[in-house]
């Protein structure tokens, strides 16, 4: 087979708010080769990603992403990695290319799995898909009372683990943050696994983060996620050295596997949380999963959008029984919920697993998401480089 087309679709809610919720818009990717179609999703701002697909060449290390993908051979899983390497070489100075190729790469795996009639995790060499304990991923409430209500709701839905993040956490006082954490603990119950996401709020300020450690330790929080920017390795290490039972989690901002591996080696994280829609796709996420496992660091997915993205993010560590917990979006906007006809639901034991079906195992509902489609035209020098394609199967 050869890659015959790569199409991108900018989907968005009618109103997009200034909150830490990446499910408000979406860049959906469609790849066609032979008689097969694959779908993927980028965890990125849609418009600059579309631009990186088609932009005019700036110089020899700044080609549009499409140049390295369209027409490429696609006869087996190894060809997917070759395509990603070509994009990285030819679009080295086009920084958005990392996010753009991530969604394309996911679609290529979906297509390959359908063509070979195998789930993606089998193409990665795994014999089975191990169930994971999903943690309900949501934002902190504006007040502790709202967080308490959210945590109680999560517990009533049967989740044994929950994460609260962003919102006001880390932006006001140490006491206010302690109240938020205690509210989450009270609502979730003493046995629930509680996680906290700081959303990089402290930049590189180790002391500001350290002031929150007593409250986090007292509440039995398993991990503090992204206290700092992804590249602040020294800050991560310094804070990790001051933790007792608490562990640090990070890596969702890594846009290539080397950045994630540096966090593992030099940042002292206990959980490597990777987004397939950012890091380069399923193949690179799998590389990080195996790297983390070899260093006794837990691998976790980062997913806050659709169940297409959730399936893609489960594939890299589906075969690992030791990596037991996964992010599960419970507050995704209707756009993300409507994208697929099927969803990865919890089984009788409250776990979730990568689908057994070919590819990513997800059936898209294009009629449901068509109202969210935004028309985009990119014209340079009178030549149209991109115009929104027809959203069909």
Over 90: is that where the pLDDT of 393 sits? no
Q: Is residue 357 part of a domain?
A: no
Give the CATH number for residue 189. 3.20.20.120
Q: Are residues 36 and 133 in the same domain?
A: no
Domain count, the chain: 2
In a 13 Å sphere around the CA of 198, the CA atoms on its Cβ side amount to: 32
| Residue 303 confidence (pLDDT) above 90 | yes
Q: What pLDDT was estimated at residue 392? A: 86
162 and 21 share a domain? Answer: no
Position with higher pLDDT, 250 vs 392: 250
Rounded to an integer, what distance in angstroms lies between the CA atom of residue 369 and that of residue 150?
A: 27
344 within some domain: no
- Contact yes or no for 138/327 (Cβ under 8 A): no
Residue 103 lies in a domain: yes
* Residue 89 belongs to domain with CATH number: 3.30.390.10
| Assessment of whether the complete model's pTM goes beyond 0.75 | yes
Using one digit for the tens of pLDDT, what is the confidence trace for 233-280? 999 999 999 999 999 999 999 999 999 999 999 999 999 999 999 999
In a domain, 8, yes or no: yes
Percent of the chain clearing pLDDT 70 (strictly above): 100
Examine the domain organization and report whether 150 and 257 are in the same domain: yes
The confidence band for 327, taking pLDDT boundaries of 50, 70 and 90, is: very high
Q: Which two tokens stand for residue 359?
A: 């590819």
Residue 363 has pLDDT above 90, yes or no: yes
- Do 102 and 158 fall within a single domain? no
pLDDT of the residue at 25 = 96
Q: In what order do the strands lie in the sheet with 223-225?
A: 298-301, 271-274, 247-250, 223-225, 193-197, 161-165, 133-139, 325-329
pLDDT in tens, 152-180: 999 999 899 999 999 999 999 999 999 99
At residue 21, the pLDDT reads 87
Same domain, 188 and 218: yes
Clarify whether residues 60 and 136 are in a common domain.
no
pLDDT of residue 6: 98
82 and 204 part of one domain = no
Give a yes or no: residue 177 inside a domain: yes
Same domain, 165 and 205: yes
Give the model confidence (pLDDT) of 111-150 as tens digits: 999 999 999 999 999 999 999 999 999 999 999 999 999 9
Q: How many residues does the chain have?
A: 393
- Looking at the fold, whether 79 and 106 belong to one and the same domain comes out as yes
Kindly state whether residue 351 falls inside one of the protein's structural domains: no
Look at residue 50 and tell me whether its pLDDT is greater than 90. Answer: yes
Kindly state whether residues 328 and 374 are assigned to the same domain: no
* Judgement on whether residues 144 and 281 belong to the same structural domain of the protein: yes
Domain, as residue range, for 52? 3-119+367-386
The answer as to whether 294 is a domain residue is: yes
In tens, the pLDDT along 19-31 reads 888 999 999 999 9
Q: What pLDDT, on the 0 to 100 scale, is given for residue 20?
A: 85
348 domain-assigned: no
Tell me the three-class secondary structure of 307-321, residue by residue.
HHHHHHHHHHHCCCC
Same domain, 69 and 158: no
Average pLDDT over residues 283-294: 98
Share of the chain above pLDDT 90, in %: 96
């Amino acid at each position: 087979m050869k890659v015959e087309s790569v199409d991108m679709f900018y989907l968005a809610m009618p109103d997009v708010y200034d909150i830490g919720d990446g499910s408000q818009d979406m860049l959906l990717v469609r790849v066609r080769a032979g008689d097969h179609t694959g779908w993927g999703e980028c965890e990125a701002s849609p418009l600059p990603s579309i631009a990186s697909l088609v932009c005019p060449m700036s110089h020899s290390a700044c080609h549009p992403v499409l140049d390295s993908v369209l027409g490429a051979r696609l006869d087996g899983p190894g060809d997917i990695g070759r395509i990603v390497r070509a994009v990285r070489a030819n679009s080295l100075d086009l920084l958005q290319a990392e996010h753009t190729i991530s969604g394309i790469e996911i679609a290529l795996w979906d297509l390959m799995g359908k063509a070979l009639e195998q789930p993606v995790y089998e193409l990665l060499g795994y014999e089975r898909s191990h169930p994971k304990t999903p943690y309900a991923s949501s934002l902190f409430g504006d007040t502790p009372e709202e967080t308490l209500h959210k945590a109680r709701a999560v517990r009533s839905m049967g989740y044994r683990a929950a994460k609260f993040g962003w919102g006001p956490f880390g932006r006001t006082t140490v006491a206010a943050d302690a109240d938020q954490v205690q509210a989450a603990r009270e609502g979730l119950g003493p046995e629930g696994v509680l996680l906290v996401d700081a959303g990089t709020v402290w930049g590189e300020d180790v002391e500001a983060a350290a002031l929150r450690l007593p409250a986090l330790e007292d509440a039995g929080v398993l991990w503090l996620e992204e206290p700092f920017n992804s590249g602040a390795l020294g800050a991560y290490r310094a804070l990790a050295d001051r933790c007792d039972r608490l562990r640090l989690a990070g890596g969702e901002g890594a846009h290539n596997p080397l950045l994630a591996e540096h966090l593992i080696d030099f940042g002292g994280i206990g959980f490597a949380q990777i987004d397939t829609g950012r890091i380069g796709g399923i193949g690179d996420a799998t590389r990080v999963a195996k790297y983390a496992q070899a260093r006794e660091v837990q691998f976790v997915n980062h997913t806050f959008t659709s169940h297409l993205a959730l399936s893609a993010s489960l594939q890299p560590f589906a075969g690992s029984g030791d990596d037991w917990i996964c992010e599960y979006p419970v507050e995704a906007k209707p756009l993300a919920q409507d994208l697929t006809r099927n969803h990865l639901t919890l089984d009788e034991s409250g776990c979730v697993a990568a689908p057994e079906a070919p590819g990513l195992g997800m059936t898209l509902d294009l009629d449901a998401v068509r109202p969210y489609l935004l028309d985009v035209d990119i014209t340079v020098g009178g030549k149209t480089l991109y115009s929104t394609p027809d959203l069909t199967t």
